Amino acid sequence: MSTVAPHGLHHVTAIAEDPQRNVDFYAHVLGLRLVKQTVNFDAPETYHLYYGDAAGRPSSLLTFFPWPGVPPGRQGTGLATVTSFSVPEGSLAWWQRRLADRGADADAPRTRDGEDVLVLRDPDGMVLELVAAPGDARSGWDGEASIPSEHAVRGLHAITLSERVLDASAAMLTDLLGMRLRSEDGASARFAMAGGESGTLVDVAASPRDRGLQAGGTVHHVAFRAPDLATMTRWQAELLDSGIDVTDIRDRQYFKSIYFREPGGVLFEIATDEPGFATDEPLLELGRSLKLPPWLEPDREQIAAALPPLRLDATG
Ligand code: ZN
């Protein structure tokens, strides 16, 4: 039997309030590369900002819809509540000092389930983790001058889904999406794709906490990797056959996508690895200027005029 089997996390997309504050934090405090400055294709009067490693490779990507004036959301069930990044082993003390120096809201590192973890909140209150992940061969982005490359963020490590019940979500992850149950501890479980390395992990934490409210500082959706369009088209048919309400294939310019909800309510996406972020500007220039898909290019002047200007350099 053929099963859907994504080979890792592709990207996580979240909601922020202020685009400048978002760039200042992710590019200059966490040191991710702003790999694309574009608009939300479904709401072109607002930005869509993509951060990742040097090339914006799948599994390194965190993206934001900055919606000025959006009220703060509330973490709770039915949301992806923690986004974890991988950093090199031995880096957490360095990160703790850096985050403290820059006034970031961060806890002291601790050990949890065999992983060394530093929990922090971004300026919108989004919960992030830096995990000292052994054996992560990814190189991250070394373009932020104040971060030595040996401490640079490597990419996504894991995502945590908060659910009221474990079983329904677990069944979708394993039976439909082909993930493996890696560990289970009462009401929480870890699932893995591909080789189970950093960037392929999904944690599900079940609790009777209140339902979350999706707004500022919360995750909008979680995307998984499809190797190519033909494979994703086949998966789309399989999901439909299983009774999942999956969308048509959307052209996201840097990848093609389908969307559906898991039983607890979290919006999932499957996105292709290709064509990637160098499709409309050179690798060296990624993220420096506003890029629009061909169908919005005729409205560039109007779109650009409505967006708040972004300062990309570090303010110190
Ligand atoms: Zn997405």
Is the peptide bond preceding residue 275 cis, with omega within 30 degrees of 0?
yes
- The answer to whether residue 222 sits within a structural domain is yes
What distance in angstroms lies between residue 97's CA and the mean position of ligand 1's atoms? 32
Q: In whole angstroms, give the CA distance from residue 201 to residue 217.
A: 22
Task: Give, as one character, the DSSP assignment of residue 247.
Answer: P
What are the C-alpha distances in Å from 310 to residues 19, 20, 47, 289?
A: 7, 6, 10, 10
pLDDT score recorded for residue 98: 98
DSSP-based three-state secondary structure for 186: coil
What distance in angstroms lies between residue 199's CA and the mean position of ligand 1's atoms? 16
Q: In whole angstroms, give the CA distance from residue 60 to residue 74.
A: 25
What distance in angstroms lies between residue 12's CA and the mean position of ligand 1's atoms? 7
pTM: 0.97
What distance in angstroms lies between residue 85's CA and the mean position of ligand 1's atoms? 17
Residue pair 54/152 in contact (Cβ under 8 Å)? The answer is no
What distance in angstroms lies between residue 224's CA and the mean position of ligand 1's atoms? 9
Residue-range definition of the domain harbouring residue 87: 9-306
Q: Looking at residue 243, which CATH number applies to its domain?
A: 3.10.180.10
- The answer to whether residue 152 sits within a structural domain is yes
- The answer to whether residue 215 sits within a structural domain is yes
Backbone phi, psi, residue 71, to 5°: -70, 160
- The answer to whether residue 312 sits within a structural domain is no
- The answer to whether residue 54 sits within a structural domain is yes
What distance in angstroms lies between residue 166's CA and the mean position of ligand 1's atoms? 24
The protein residues having their C-beta less than 5 angstroms from ligand 1 (an ion) are 13, 223, 269
> Encoding tokens for residue 37?
């400055």
Sequential pLDDT tens for the chain (316 residues)? 457 899 999 999 999 999 999 999 999 999 999 999 999 999 999 999 999 999 999 999 999 999 999 999 999 999 999 999 999 999 999 999 999 999 999 999 999 989 999 999 999 999 999 999 999 999 999 999 899 999 999 999 999 999 999 999 999 999 999 999 999 998 999 999 999 999 999 999 999 999 999 999 999 999 999 999 999 999 999 999 999 999 999 999 999 999 999 999 999 999 999 999 999 999 999 999 999 999 999 999 999 999 999 999 986 5
- The answer to whether residue 315 sits within a structural domain is no
User: Cα dihedral sign for 210, 213, 216, 221?
Assistant: positive
pLDDT score recorded for residue 4: 85
The total domain count for the chain is: 1
List of E strands, the chain: 9-16, 33-40, 43-52, 61-66, 79-87, 105-106, 110-112, 115-121, 127-132, 155-163, 180-185, 188-192, 201-206, 219-226, 250-251, 256-261, 267-272
What distance in angstroms lies between residue 205's CA and the mean position of ligand 1's atoms? 22
- The answer to whether residue 313 sits within a structural domain is no
